[in-house]
Amino acid sequence: MRITRAVVPSLFTTLNTFCGFLSIVSAHEGHIQNAALFIILAGVFDSLDGLMARITRSSSQFGVELDSLADVVSFGAAPSFMIYKAYLYQYENLGILLASLPLLFGSIRLARFNVQLVGFDKDYFNGLPIPAQAITLCAFVLQYYSEYSGFSPIAQVVIIPMVILLSLLMVSTVKYDTLPKFTKKDFRAHPWKLVSMSMAALIILFSKGALIFAVIASYVLFGVLRWAIRSVRALIGVQEHRKDEVSQVTSIDI
């Protein structure tokens, strides 16, 4: 059997899938924080498979499809099952429905991304990327969940709205910045991206992980805030354009 360069990124994608499976097993056994850590590790392998594909110049349609299948497991099924076992199980059928949202909307988001893969804007994602959604949930679990007492009362108020919001953002048209590549070309094109990412990494490092949820939540909310500001500006622009048209028509009639 001939081993090609394409095996290298596919190996990391397979490790991504395996971490997703380990997360599901851990959640089933009641080790919720371990389940969150395995999803984050899957995110590391997900980043590395893309890096390896660029280094080995072995990108292929097979790799794209395999990556999407891995993401459905690690960032769709695994976080859905984790949040169900951690809290939503107590709502019975409603809890099952709510817990399924990251998986269902994540699958739709991945299918849409694959269809739009050719010619898509490389500076932005349309909708929240499914790994970002999953890691946001994991960061929340790691920061606010206890293996002995579960979530605090305040955290319990946030869980359901957060799951719904993250799920809807994945299939929205809200733009999110793509992760920068640490190259001279990318630094010249988007210096603020590299600076922001470096600052975020330093904050997480110096806080020993205590601020990981705050950092990731800032990324999620920044996309929503930017979308809201642009929508308001666009609406104001349309209204001003209509006023100009009305004033021109009025002046002509006079």
The CATH number given to whatever domain includes residue 117 is 1.20.120.1760
Cα distance between residue 82 and residue 26, in whole Å: 9
Nearest CA among 243, 244, 212 for reference residue 132: 212
Average the pLDDT over each of 18-27, 114-123, 195-204, 213-222 and give the range with the smallest value.
114-123
What is the tally of structural domains in the chain?
Answer: 1
Comparison of pLDDT for 208 and 30, the residue scoring more: 30
Higher pLDDT, 95 or 206: 95
Confidence of residue 125 (pLDDT cuts 50, 70, 90): confident
Q: Can you give the residue range of the structural domain that contains 95?
A: 7-179
Confidence of residue 244 (pLDDT cuts 50, 70, 90): low
Beta pairing class for 145-146 and 150-151: antiparallel
Q: Does residue 198 belong to any structural domain of this protein?
A: no
pLDDT exceeds cutoff 70 at 3: no
The answer to whether the pTM exceeds 0.75 is: yes
- Token digits of residue 249: 């028509």
Alpha-carbon distances, residue 142 vs 134, 214, 229 (angstroms): 12, 12, 32
Give the per-residue pLDDT at 119.
Answer: 46
Structure confidence at residue 1 (pLDDT): 46
Query: How confident is the model over 31-52, as pLDDT tens digits?
Result: 999 999 999 999 999 888 777 7
Question: Is 226 part of a structural domain of the chain?
Answer: no
What Cα–Cα distance (Å) separates residue 1 from each residue in 4, 81, 101, 233? 10, 38, 41, 59
Q: Rounded to the nearest 10 degrees, what angle do helices 130-144 and 153-170 cross at?
A: 180
Query: Looking at the domain assignment, is residue 64 inside a domain?
Result: yes
* Contact in structure between 89 and 37 (CB atoms under 8 Å): no
Q: Determine the pLDDT at residue 225.
A: 93
- Domain membership of residue 187 (yes or no) is no
Among candidates 168, 163, 170, 169, which has minimal Cα distance to 87?
Answer: 163
**Worst-scoring range by mean pLDDT, 115-124, 143-152, 153-162?**
115-124
Q: Are 163 and 220 in contact (CB under 8 A)?
A: no
> Per this entry, what is the length of the chain?
254
* pLDDT, the chain, mean: 84
Report the range of poorest mean pLDDT among 113-122, 199-208, 229-238: 113-122
Of the candidates 141, 147, 72, 81, the one whose C-alpha atom is nearest the C-alpha of residue 111 is 72
Asked whether residue 237 is domain-assigned, the answer is no
Question: Does residue 111 form part of some domain?
Answer: yes
Helix-strand-coil split of the chain, %, nearest 5: 80, 5, 20
State both tokens at 167. 């799920």
Q: Within a 13 Å sphere around the CA of 85, how many CA atoms are in the beta-carbon half?
A: 23
